[in-house]
């Protein structure tokens, strides 16, 4: 996984984090999680961006 290489962690660690995020937000689809995240970021006022 490119994320694992970039962060210098294992693929398994990335997959575990993804599963935990999906469980926390109650989603079975990583695409849905990411699309919701992008929509949330796009609707934040500019002073609240990360």
Which pLDDT tens digit goes with each residue over 10-20?
A: 999 999 999 99
What per-residue confidence (pLDDT) applies to 48? 60
- R_g (Cα) of the chain, nearest Å: 13
What six digits make up the tokens of 19? 């599963």
Domain count, the chain: 1
Q: Residue 46 has what DSSP assignment?
A: G
* Mean pLDDT of the 26-46 span: 89
Kindly report the length of the chain: 50
- Residue 4: Cβ within 10 Å count: 14
Which domain range does residue 17 map to?
A: 2-48
Global model pTM greater than 0.85: no
């Amino acid at each position: 996984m490119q994320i694992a290489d970039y962060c210098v962690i294992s693929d398994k660690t990335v997959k575990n984090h993804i599963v935990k995020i999906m469980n926390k937000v109650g989603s079975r689809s990583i695409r849905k999680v990411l699309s919701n995240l992008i929509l949330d970021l796009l609707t934040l006022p500019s002073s609240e961006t990360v």
